[in-house]
Amino acid sequence: MQVATTYENAMARKYPEQVSLAIAKDARGKHNPISLGWVMNTSIEPPMLAISIGLTRYSLEVLRHAREFVLSFVSSTMAEDALFHGTRSGRELDKLAQCGTKTQPATVIDSVLLADAVANFECKLESELVTGDHVIFVGRVVAAHMNEDPSVRRLYSLGNDQLGGVVPG
């Protein structure tokens, strides 16, 4: 049986939520990462992925400038990286250099992959849609990469500002 509650209370029941990072190159040539929970697949053929970026984020202007990005499925060992990139802004900071997140060059677009992630997708920006206080960016996947170690698992947001791995079952 369902009982009426607030939007916030009901939405708090969604966890665990997968954590991703989007990386795009800014006008000064710096690769800027942003931690993301709001990510979805939007097309199989051609493969497309969508990310939702808050109006206040530095990444908003970076994505509009770069018109391409890497979407990275963060691994369970990368909680500190996800917290760092999700609580500091790249406006005044080189987040990748400061945090020491391991990268390797992307192969098709001008960006970087996260070396320890579960998987990385290189995306060309197709379209954007303003929705309230966020903007949805849709990217067409032009290259995909996965960790050579199949035992590497994804990182989740568990609610109450906790990040961690999830054991299926």
CB of 71 to ligand FMN, least distance (A): 11
- CA dist 21 → 8, 30, 56, 71 (Å): 24, 15, 17, 6
Residue 76 interacting with ligand FMN (CB under 6 A): no
Q: How many CA atoms lie within 13 A of 52 on its CB side?
A: 12
CB of 98 to ligand FMN, least distance (A): 12
List the x/- string, 32-61, binding to ligand FMN by CB under 6 A: x-xxxxx-------------xxx--xxx--
Q: Give the number of residues written for the chain.
A: 169
Which tokens hold the place of 53? 């970026």
Residue 86 interacting with ligand FMN (CB under 6 A): yes
- What is d(CA 116, CA 8) in angstroms, rounded to the nearest whole number? 33
The interface region with ligand FMN, picked from 2-10, 28-36, 42-50, 109-117 by CB under 6 A, is 28-36
CB of 115 to ligand FMN, least distance (A): 20
127: enclosing H helix or E strand: strand 119-131
Residue 157 interacting with ligand FMN (CB under 6 A): yes
Residue 79 identity (one-letter amino acid): A
| Residue of the chain from 16, 89, 125, 158 that contacts ligand FMN (CB under 6 A) | 89
Residue 71 interacting with ligand FMN (CB under 6 A): no
Size of the site for ligand FMN (CB under 6 A): 22
Which tokens hold the place of 16? 């665990």
CB of 36 to ligand FMN, least distance (A): 4
Residue 101 interacting with ligand FMN (CB under 6 A): no
Spatial CB neighbours of 138, under 8 Å, sequence gap ≥ 6? 42, 48, 49, 50, 125, 126, 127, 128, 129
Binding footprint of ligand FMN on the chain (CB under 6 A): 19, 32, 34-38, 52-54, 57-59, 82-83, 86-91, 157
